[in-house]
Structure formats: C-alpha cells, structure tokens
Amino acid sequence: MDISLKAALELGRRDAAPQGRPSAATHIHDELRQRILSLDLPPGTNLLRAELARQFDVSVTPLRDALQRLEADGLVKIYPQSRTQVTRIDTALVHEGHFLRRALETEVVRRLATDGAPKAVERARSIIELQKSIQNDDERLRLFQELDELFHRTLFDGAGQIALHDLIRSRAGHLDRVRRLQRHSPRKIRAILDGHLEIVSAIEARDVAGALAAIRGHLRKSPDWVDEYREAHEDYFA
C-alpha cells in the first residue's frame, strides 16, 4: 500500500477510536468485527473460543465481553456451552441499515451545506484524490471501499455528528457485508467518484438543494438490489 494511502486510513481509524488505550475486549471486538465485515470470517463460520483466547492471549472475561458486543451488533450468534457462529446475512437488516444511513446522512449533508464546512470539504476532497489514484487497480478494490467509508465518516465528523456515524456502523453490519460482495465495474467506480464530487461541490457552494439531490442520488438503490448477491452467494444469506 502507498505510504500516503496507509497514512490516510490510519488517521481516519485513529480519529474514530476513543481516546486512550483500548481495553482487551474492545481490541478483540474491533479486530473480529473487521474480519467479519471484510468476509475474512464468512457467514456461518464457527468461532472457537479456546482458539480465540490463545490467538489474542486473553482470559475468558474479555473474550466473552467482545463476543457479546458482536452479538449485539448482529454479527455473531452465541450458543451457550456450545459455540459462537458468524451470522448469515439478513436481507431485512440490510434494508434497515440502508434506510437508517440514507435518513441520517441526508440530514448531515443538509447541515453541512447550510452552515458551510471548509475543513470537511478539504479533507473530503483529499480522500477523493486518493480514491482516484487507485480507481483503475482491481487489486485494491477493498482499499477503495475503505476510503469510501472514510469519505462518508468525514461528512459526519464535519457536522459534529460522529456518534450518529457510530450508530449507523453498529446497525450496518449486514449491509456492509453485502457491499463487500460487490465487484465494481470501471463505470460504477466512476459513478461513485462523480457522486462524491457532486456532494462536496454542493456543500462547498452552500447549495442545500443540490447537496440533498447529490447525496440522495449517491445512496439510492433499487428495492431488489440485494437479490443478485443472494443468488450468487446463497450460503452467505439466512
């Protein structure tokens, strides 16, 4: 990974993390959550607690706390005295997560365009430039997606609504896994970048109507958009 790209992502992750050293339970939760969302731990995977305890070099208590948090996120199912399993993707929860994201991000963009947000605009444009630099590299699609997430987080940060972004993330585990199944064509990549540019340009111009139209168009999906991924990955879905 290029140094500039790595630095940008690490900066975004550091900003997202609470101040101070994370607890063992938080570290385990965040690490396992990332593996689940990236599909490195696919739906249906059994998580062996003894193996995880050895891997993270922790006792039962922080591991149990981390798994309970993942269960609250809807990403694992704990079977007492038995096993813990990565949940399969629930289509209803995918649509719910997308609805929540559209509702909250629309209001975030409205505020940014109304009040003006030069620092958020500057940072968002920098992220867009990083995305442009790898848009033609199929091997770095996951990195492109991570930058996409950082772009949207920047909007919430600019509006002073990071807690709402965290709320979306806690409810979007099923949505995020479907997004990781997407294999974007060059046309789709270009549309994503154009959407980001339209959003930022409208915010910078304090064009509220234009900003709202841009974010709604950017996040719009057809009612049956999940179906093609369910058909291609039946084992991943509930």
Domain that holds residue 210: 91-229
At 137 the pLDDT is 85
Residue 182 sits in the same domain as residue 197: yes
Residue 125 sits in the same domain as residue 219: yes
Instruction: Give the separation between CA 186 and CA 84, rounded to whole angstroms.
Output: 39
Residue 216 sits in the same domain as residue 103: yes
Residue 111 sits in the same domain as residue 215: yes
Instruction: Give the separation between CA 139 and CA 116, rounded to whole angstroms.
Output: 36
Max CA separation in the chain (angstroms): 58
- In this prediction the pTM is 0.85
Name the domain boundary from 86, 104, 128: 86
Residue 54 sits in the same domain as residue 129: no
Domain membership flag for residue 195: yes
Residue 96 sits in the same domain as residue 167: yes
pLDDT beneath 50: ranges in the chain: 1, 3, 16-17
At 55 the pLDDT is 92
Which amino acid is located at 24 in the chain? A
**87 three-class SS:** coil
The CATH number of whichever domain residue 218 belongs to comes to 1.20.120.530
89 pairs with which residues across the strands? 237
Residue 163 sits in the same domain as residue 117: yes
Residue 113 sits in the same domain as residue 217: yes
Residue 98 sits in the same domain as residue 209: yes
At 81 the pLDDT is 79
At 115 the pLDDT is 92
At 10 the pLDDT is 61
At 167 the pLDDT is 93
Instruction: Give the separation between CA 232 and CA 237, rounded to whole angstroms.
Output: 10
Domain membership flag for residue 128: yes
Domain membership flag for residue 4: no
Find the length of the chain: 238
The total number of structural domains in the chain stands at: 2
Residue 63 sits in the same domain as residue 112: no
Domain membership flag for residue 5: no
